[in-house]
Amino acid sequence: MLRRFLAFSALLVCFAMPVQPQESGGSDPGQSQVQESPKAPPNQNQLPPITVTSGLVHLVATVTDKRRSFVTDLEQGDFKVLENGVPQEIRFFGRETDLPLRIGLLLDTSNSIRPRLSFEQEAAIDFLNRVIRRNKDMAFLMTFDNEPEVVQGFTGDLTLLTDAIHNQRAGGGTALDDAIFRASEMLANPPLPPGPDPEVRRVIVVISDGDDNLSDHALSDAIESSVRSEAAVYTISTNTDWLAIDDASKPSKYHLADGDKVLQMFAEQTGGRSFFPYRVDDLAQSFLDIGTELRSQYYIAYAPTIPLSKGQYRKIDVQTDRKGATVRTRKGYYAVPTAASAASR
């Protein structure tokens, strides 16, 4: 099914206006410019949209039960997709367990995480060893303090990634927004697998306290960049502002610090997930949970029944008939008509 989808999708793209990744510098005046669609202000109540130009809306969905365990046995008929309240026909469906991963691992190396750096390094290495499959998945390592730095580009070589992680030292400020902006640009055009199935799953994993104090890019810029790249952002907070209530073995978050809220915003607006480990040892479990989720998702694609009107915001609601199950995915997009859909109006 996925192979048929890719062939069909590639044909549609031939008739669509391509969206170029956002560049930080100028563009070639000899090339046609693509007008950007309006962007919604980022907040925790409304997710920013994805831009659709191929005639199909692509979604990655995570389903959990009441205990927050992953539900992985659903079929296409178990899902319902609504766009602006109107039911849509699911054209393509599949489980994402086999898609090649392209992972950006962003490690905060500012002064604020110095006491926890060593364990963060070991947890990150263990995560990559569990997730990266030889000759299939790739990752890059970016550190950020005063500014982001790619210390290891895309590779599937775990030895190179491990050595790069071990070689990092802490010091300086925190340029989180700049790091996510740059990582998103890299994931917008990642190395693609050879052969007829060029689809990949784009993921950003961030380990930080979320307290940005040096970025040149605004938070809204970083969120928009991650949305445009279609990368899901998973965040692991290193903030230690916790309070144990009654039972010290079951701590509760006293409140979300400002940095925690920023990390949560990135995750919520890109279809990712935020983690707030209590002890430094819990970092390893957070990484393990991310790896499990990446292998427990569904792929859904549909063609909107209403002709696309440029700049129009379309709300997406994905539901399942499974009792007690919750679906997590993107919540909407700004429509951009394809050449074919424009001609049909």
DSSP 302-328: E--SSPP-TT-EEEEEEEE-STT-EEE
pLDDT at position 181: 98
Whether 133 is in a domain gets the answer: yes
CA–CA separation, 10 vs 197, rounded Å?
Answer: 10
pLDDT at position 196: 81
pLDDT at position 164: 97
pLDDT at position 311: 61
Whether 4 is in a domain gets the answer: no
Sequence-distant (≥ 6) Cβ neighbours of residue 251 within 8 angstroms: 242, 243, 244, 245, 278
Q: Residue 140, CB half-sphere, CA atoms under 13 Å: how many?
A: 23
Domain interval for residue 180:
98-294
Q: Does residue 237 sit in the same domain as residue 180? A: yes
Low-confidence ranges of the chain (pLDDT < 50): 1-53, 243-245, 340-345
CA–CA separation, 80 vs 89, rounded Å?
Answer: 8
pLDDT at position 278: 78
Q: Does residue 175 sit in the same domain as residue 138? A: yes
**Residue 74 in 3-state DSSP?**
coil
Sequence-distant (≥ 6) Cβ neighbours of residue 283 within 8 angstroms: 116, 119, 120, 123, 207, 236, 277
Whether 26 is in a domain gets the answer: no
Q: Does residue 279 sit in the same domain as residue 312? A: no
Domain boundary among 294, 312, 337: 294
Question: Could you give the C-alpha distances from 171 to 114, 117, 199, 227, in angstroms and in order?
Answer: 7, 11, 38, 30
Whether 169 is in a domain gets the answer: yes
pLDDT at position 55: 76
Question: Could you give the C-alpha distances from 276 to 64, 191, 194, 245, in angstroms and in order?
Answer: 19, 31, 38, 16
Q: What is the pLDDT of residues 114-168, one digit of tens each?
A: 888 888 899 899 999 999 999 999 999 999 999 999 999 999 999 999 999 999 9
Pairing of the two strands 313-320 and 79-83: antiparallel
Whether 11 is in a domain gets the answer: no
Q: Considering the entire predicted model, what is its pTM?
A: 0.76
pLDDT at position 206: 97
272 within 8 A of 187, measured Cβ to Cβ: no
40 within 8 A of 323, measured Cβ to Cβ: no
Among 253, 271, 273, 255, smallest CA distance to 263 is for 273
Q: Does residue 115 sit in the same domain as residue 59? A: no
Q: How many domains does the chain have?
A: 2
